[in-house]
Structure 1
Amino acid sequence: MHPEFPDEDIMTLFEEEVKDEDKNKWIVWFDDASNALGHGVGAVLVSPDEQYIPFMSRLGFECTNSIAEYEVCALGIQAAIDFKVKLLKVYGDSALVIHQLKAEWETKDHKLVPYQAYIRKLIGFFDDISFHHIPREENQMTDAFATVASMFQLSPLEDLPYIEFRCRGKPTHCCLIEEEKDGKPWYFDIKRYIEDKEYLLEASDNDKRTL
């Protein structure tokens, strides 16, 4: 134990040092999707200021799930190199790929050996790179990109334009609802009919049938 700091203070200082080291690192997430439509891969490159840059690709050749995972891992790392990234953390939900690249698991499939050799060459472009396994439920974004990529039938060398995804918080038709001029909520007339069975004076027969 350090003579000047209790154990808890030492752990706090250590955690702060780790955060300082990671704040300048980029992150890449990767995943594949294989189904009856084909093989798709998706990766997302995240900058230190949390800018998300997605990459998707459809694999136009027959391959196993493990090969597809290696393909997309290489895709994400290559994208980081193109952005001249020097500090990178790689996240994927394929235990096989992550543990083999960390040299923790033996590679028995000879088809995966060339991929490992290629990625090891790519590692040389970084000052620091690390590989991390995450649960599948924490990797939904890249899984969605990979699934989208697997659904498109593309000719060789044909690319799709950039696709932007946004979260819509309410139905589109809500944008057409105008504010009531009398200051009452839009559902006031409906509520009054439910409570008092009372129509508006100017309500037509069609309006009454709708209510």
Structure 2
Amino acid sequence: MSEASTPIRVVVVDDHPVFRLGMGALLASLDGVEVVGDAEDAAAAHELIAAQQPDVVLMDLHLGEDSGIEATRAVARTHPDVAVLVITMQEDDESVVASIRAGASGYLLKGASPDEVERAVRAVANGEMILGPKVAARAMATVTSGRTAVRVPFPELTDREREVLDLVARGFDNTTISRRLVLSPKTVRNHVANVLNKIGASDRSAAIVAAREGGLGID
């Protein structure tokens, strides 16, 4: 890609407006980079990506009630030529593995320097895979210690949905789950319905079986 003639088109997806504005300003200051829009949730992101066809999407993992991992998976499925660069506060192995499995081309922490952000954006736009220094150090520690990467159960679910599924697998009804998680019964019902749809379970019993096979609902 020639930076002079064809700028890298970037979309920023994050539910914090101050971060979106700051990241947009940083990216706009870089030679050969054009910010073509920003979005605060998954629905707005999908609409914007479809309209703008960017080269790179900077994706937070927590988009309010939406999951950045699920949003990343949707982008990878519907726009395979668009590179997703995750930029988040989460530095745990589970989040890194789930993001890469969902189709992300890179993973940065929000504490990354401007130079690191620029390097990562240019790398993923060029078809490369990149991890931020801290994330790469953790990955290397995993490799050198002989530990295997952590498998995230049901990465298609949001953190909250996975928490609800775990409690369903433990045999709790919706009323009990709503009390334990301090959520309204309606919200719990919605979460359960979304979980069944995402994991392809026909009913609650099937979801319990799938959850336990995946390691949830057991101590």
TM-score, scaled relative to structure 2: 0.26
Whose radius of gyration is greater, 1 or 2?
1
Name the structure with the higher helix share. 2
Higher relative contact order (CA 8 A, sep 6+): 1
